[in-house]
Structure 1
């Protein structure tokens, strides 16, 4: 399943944070001093699109580039091996959760001045994407930090819906601009959860969400969060968080608008959405090329709102960084800048339906295209511009504190334990792990400053 592989890649990437502690030297361009190396991960569509963009870069600049591509689940391991062997690629993908460790260990070059010298208009690149790779030695993701990578992409997680199913059920289609309340959304989920063939068993459901990848929306829109603003205190043991988690669990156990665990094992909910059996399901930009070939019409909508009255969801991202040990720093920064910000390069990647444009002007044209699929592409941009957030562990030195929430959450999802009781128990364990992550960050920064 494509989405499972992508999610597994993201989890693997986050787990690499904190793994690099030794300073890096050597490596760079490898055996051929006249050729840059660029290492990234992706499938055949992404590989082909990047090769086209790189061929154009070579034609324009005369700089040759050797491409090293891996599967998503192999990338972190192979990059770590390259770092350990002092064979760091000149240019490579950087996960948000790995940035601090790579900066502290001296693997990544500070490219702030070089990007400015190239005259790149960062104001025309999504602020979230740029700031994701800024780090001031204490906090990552703020506008004040030095720039250690440029965004490869931004990945807003939108909520999609089966337009055909809703129309056949006589349900009014969601407004593309005004979000539904959580209660109004639940009413629709109940209406479309049906036994369509009359055999006494449900075969069509309102939704089917994975707690690890969609709980964020419910919590944030309900006024809850995982930590305080400076990421020093875990804040999951609150009424707002508990209410959101309980609502999520109740979708299955009380409201019965999702496939039950046994049904989910037979066919997971991603596959059920693809088969036209589920009405509402998350959609990322990487899904578009596949979803556009579905046998039913689908579109995007704002996420439903909780107590805050505002929708919420997360934005993923990958960065493109430059090795501090590259023998060709000027050319390496040019390549990173080209892939992230050049208009023609961006169009090549967008045409492959693997991401939304990094350039704001290009993205606005893309969203407004009369033949846009899905029609409400603008929802992706609305998330990036207004209501999307980084995943809770994206800007901490280690994700272990965040992962702890999900280790023993299943009894809550199964209806065997109250959300509030579980959160009161798990918060101290999460706090201990967050304290450890912050201590690791301080130690790594001190070691990096010492040489």
Structure 2
């Protein structure tokens, strides 16, 4: 049985209440100018948003923001319940996989007119990929109307422990020339040492997206209608990632990762290389006691193209908001206001959405990583939006992900696993395409 995605569960609930919520807000403000805002995040992120909300309330006297912070694991269930009860938050975090269902079911507002008529948004000064994540024309993601404003754009980069590198005699990597996979493995072996609780690994579990895309493969074909995981290049990438632990011994096993995650291992100085996003900077500034920096993701061959993913969370506005203007102003303030963006940047939560602030302030900050430009390279050049954000739902992705750990544990090969899930993935993808139509 296929696992239903959060997006599909959300749509199932909202379908019952569409008549009550699609018509939504009248466009007129309520006398009670309280705006509910719901998100998730670490304690550091919650503190950042409390600061930004206070800035918003100062700029817009008379508006009160009711900030609801929900654990990430519970967020979709909470949102689903609130939509079903016709108590949708005025503004809420949205992930890319939920965009199409929430648009087609009339839950979220089209913000295109607001953006067009508001001087707070300058298209030339906001990362294009950050806006395109939230565009949808009814058929093609990345085109058409804007249905959310970017909380951030999260480029997933490869961090390394400079002190472990120096101790192993490994020069700092060239910030623009990636290692090959063979070079990565060879250097990861130099970084791996010790036993038991004192063991240091060369690398954390590797980004499968980076391996697959840099090997010129993908989960789906170019028009996102056919599953492509049995492509030999995809199989090769998946097996290479698994073999970093199974064969090369340079990454923690699945069992070791369950007992102590690589994020903590990296902080403890027990992992040489690990994928991170900008959202980890603040915690690293507080807890990491060694020098660290960013390097390009490795590639299969010297002529291969570097690749990784960028994600993002959007600020969606409920179509049923009783205070639509205040809600839109809050989403825009959090996304684009200079003081709010500066707060987010200085507390290590994100690369600013504003290009000029990134160039003039963020890249010049005297805080690690020194090679902050790698985050920008990913946003502008080598990053890909996740494949599952191009489809109506991600059931097909869940089929793949549910038991891919069996490859990492060595219970099946990559070829065996991809062959075993291909048909079910295709059925789920076909269902998503039919639902979208």
Instruction: Say whether the fold is shared (TM-score over 0.5).
Output: yes
Structure 1 residues 373, 201: closer, same or farther in 2, change over 3 A? Answer: closer
Q: Equivalents in 2 of 1:259, 1:339: separation in Å? A: 38
Report the 3-state secondary structure (helix = DSSP H, G, I; strand = E; otherwise coil) of the residue aligned with 2:427.
helix
Report the 3-state secondary structure (helix = DSSP H, G, I; strand = E; otherwise coil) of the residue aligned with 1:393.
helix
The CA deviation at 1:201 is: 9.5
Structure 1 residues 40, 415: closer, same or farther in 2, change over 3 A? Answer: closer
The CA deviation at 1:41 is: 1.9
Matched, 1:216 2:209: yes
Q: 1:304 aligns with which of 298, 306, 309?
A: 298
The CA deviation at 1:176 is: 1.4
Report the 3-state secondary structure (helix = DSSP H, G, I; strand = E; otherwise coil) of the residue aligned with 1:153.
coil
Partner of 1:429: 424
Check whether the contact 1:190–1:206 (CA below 8 A) recurs between aligned residues: yes
Matched, 1:75 2:100: no
The CA deviation at 1:17 is: 5.6
Q: 2:260 aligns with which of 267, 274, 283?
A: 267
Report the 3-state secondary structure (helix = DSSP H, G, I; strand = E; otherwise coil) of the residue aligned with 1:273.
helix
Partner of 2:46: 47
Q: 1:230 aligns with which of 216, 219, 223?
A: 223
Q: Equivalents in 1 of 2:182, 2:108: separation in Å? A: 47
Q: Equivalents in 2 of 1:440, 1:396: separation in Å? A: 10
Partner of 1:406: 401
Structure 1 residues 280, 15: closer, same or farther in 2, change over 3 A? Answer: farther
Partner of 1:255: 248
Of 241-250 and 14-23, deviating more is 14-23
Structure 1 residues 294, 202: closer, same or farther in 2, change over 3 A? Answer: closer
Check whether the contact 1:154–1:315 (CA below 8 A) recurs between aligned residues: yes
Q: 1:348 aligns with which of 337, 343, 347?
A: 343
Structure 1 residues 30, 266: closer, same or farther in 2, change over 3 A? Answer: farther
The CA deviation at 1:270 is: 2.4
Q: Equivalents in 2 of 1:48, 1:201: separation in Å? A: 34
The CA deviation at 1:295 is: 1.9
Unaligned runs of at least 5 residues, structure 1: 1-10, 443-451
The CA deviation at 1:384 is: 0.8
Matched, 1:90 2:90: yes
Structure 1 residues 92, 261: closer, same or farther in 2, change over 3 A? Answer: closer
Q: Equivalents in 2 of 1:369, 1:239: separation in Å? A: 43
Of 219-228 and 337-346, deviating more is 337-346
Structure 1 residues 313, 64: closer, same or farther in 2, change over 3 A? Answer: same
Matched, 1:194 2:189: no
Partner of 2:134: 133
Matched, 1:286 2:282: no
Unaligned runs of at least 5 residues, structure 2: none
Partner of 1:445: none
Of 363-372 and 280-289, deviating more is 363-372
Report the 3-state secondary structure (helix = DSSP H, G, I; strand = E; otherwise coil) of the residue aligned with 2:131.
helix
Report the 3-state secondary structure (helix = DSSP H, G, I; strand = E; otherwise coil) of the residue aligned with 2:149.
strand
Partner of 1:329: 324
Check whether the contact 2:204–2:252 (CA below 8 A) recurs between aligned residues: yes
The CA deviation at 1:290 is: 1.6
Report the 3-state secondary structure (helix = DSSP H, G, I; strand = E; otherwise coil) of the residue aligned with 1:282.
strand
Structure 1 residues 135-159: Cα deviation after superposition (integer angstroms, max 9, x where no partner): 111122x2x3111111111111111
Structure 1 residues 187-244: Cα deviation after superposition (integer angstroms, max 9, x where no partner): 101111123xxx799812211216xxx2111000000001123211111111110111
Q: Equivalents in 2 of 1:362, 1:12: separation in Å? A: 37
The CA deviation at 1:27 is: 7.5
The CA deviation at 1:56 is: 2.2
